[in-house]
């Protein structure tokens, strides 16, 4: 990527999911949104369904999608919404979800995630839990659903990353923190670098009509912060002395945070685009990642050689 080829759109950073999809007809299209019961995931589901898509909410607790599905069922023209169980950190759950899928898949939004677990926890497969949930589960899901995306002829995958990736390259020599001391933010940041690398690695699917792009939703207060203690929230400036949580002026609302996901999932403005990273509804510039930049995508996260090495590493992990 270079600056002259970066993709721009007419949408401002504060545009909402409904604004970026206005006028787009998704009737007859089918979408899966992981973690789509709250926050930006729920707003992604809402926007896609209101545009006419059939949306499957893939979540650990399907019952939590009931209110959203009921709300949208009462909107004329909205596509049907239903929930299905999926635990991304459990590869058997991923396989069960994929085996139960029938027919084409047009949109896959890898939205679910966890952040800054205070202690190192591992999945059943031995992966550090943030890397297992944020990256490996989505990699396994996408590869398992590949035939369904191929059947679409023009499928799009959207991977929700974070600006936290810039400071933390993926350590392929010790990705599970088996040798180095565990750090909650390093684990989260490298999992989000892995998410961008997933979009880059998926360039191999472009000839089959499948595109994949990563997006940084910006700062949004959601359930993602549930593992942060009060002192950490106060240090971020989003909690007062009485324990009341409120966003800072530059924070986005969930509908604004979901705009990038919906743009990449459905807008004709990015049709055929793959392997890119977007933020504030524009393709981001490539930055060094070691200078504390406040925006952009780090060069380490869009390195095709690293992306291919990670792809091989993950392929081996899910085939055991």
Alpha carbon distances (Å) from 320 to 92, 145, 191, 316: 12, 18, 21, 7
Residue 32: phi and psi, rounded to 5, are: -120, 130
Residue 22's contacts (CB-CB under 8 Å, 6 or more residues apart) are none
Residue 147: phi and psi, rounded to 5, are: -60, -35
d(CA 141, CA 132): 12
**Is 277 noted as a catalytic residue in this protein?**
no
What torsion do the CA atoms of 159, 203, 141, 305 make, to the nearest 10 degrees? -90
What torsion do the CA atoms of 284, 298, 34, 151 make, to the nearest 10 degrees? 70
Q: Which of 249, 10, 289, 18 is nearest to 161 (CA)?
A: 289
Alpha carbon distances (Å) from 13 to 62, 92, 236, 281: 32, 38, 21, 6
DSSP lists the bridge partners of residue 58 as 34, 84
Residue 50's contacts (CB-CB under 8 Å, 6 or more residues apart) are 18, 21, 72, 75, 77, 78, 79
Residue 241, exposed/middle/buried by CB under 10 A (0-12, 13-18, 19+)? exposed
Radius of gyration for the chain, computed over Cα atoms and rounded to the nearest angstrom: 18
d(CA 92, CA 71): 31
- Per DSSP, 16 falls in state -
Catalytic residue among 188, 219, 251, 277: 188
Active-site positions? 188
């Amino acid at each position: 990527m270079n600056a002259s080829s970066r993709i721009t759109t007419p949408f401002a950073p504060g545009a909402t999911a409904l604004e970026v999809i206005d006028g787009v007809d998704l009737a007859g299209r089918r979408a899966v949104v992981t973690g789509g019961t709250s926050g930006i995931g729920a707003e992604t589901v809402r926007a896609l369904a209101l545009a006419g898509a059939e949306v499957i909410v893939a979540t650990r607790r399907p019952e939590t999608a009931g209110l959203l599905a009921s709300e949208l069922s009462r909107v004329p023209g909205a596509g049907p919404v239903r929930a299905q169980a999926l635990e991304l950190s459990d590869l058997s759950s991923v396989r069960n979800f994929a085996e139960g899928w029938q027919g084409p898949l047009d949109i896959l939004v890898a939205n679910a995630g966890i952040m800054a677990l205070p202690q190192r926890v591992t999945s059943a497969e031995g992966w550090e839990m943030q890397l297992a949930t944020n990256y490996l589960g989505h990699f396994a899901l996408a590869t398992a659903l590949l035939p369904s995306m191929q059947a679409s002829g023009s499928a799009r995958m959207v991977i929700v990353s974070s600006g936290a990736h810039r400071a933390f390259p993926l350590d392929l020599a010790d990705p599970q923190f088996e040798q180095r001391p565990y750090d909650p933010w390093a684990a989260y940041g490298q999992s989000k670098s892995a998410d961008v690398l997933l979009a880059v690695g998926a360039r191999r699917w472009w000839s089959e009509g499948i595109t994949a792009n990563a997006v940084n939703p910006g700062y949004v207060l959601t359930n993602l912060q549930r593992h942060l203690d009060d002192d950490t929230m106060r240090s971020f400036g989003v909690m007062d002395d009485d324990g009341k949580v409120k966003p800072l002026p530059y924070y986005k609302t969930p509908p604004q945070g979901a705009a990038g996901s919906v743009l990449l999932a459905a807008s004709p403005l990015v049709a055929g685009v793959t392997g890119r990273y977007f933020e504030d509804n524009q393709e981001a510039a490539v930055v060094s990642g070691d200078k504390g930049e406040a925006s952009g995508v780090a060069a380490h996260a869009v390195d095709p050689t690293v992306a291919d090495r990670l792809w091989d590493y993950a392929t081996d992990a899910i085939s055991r």
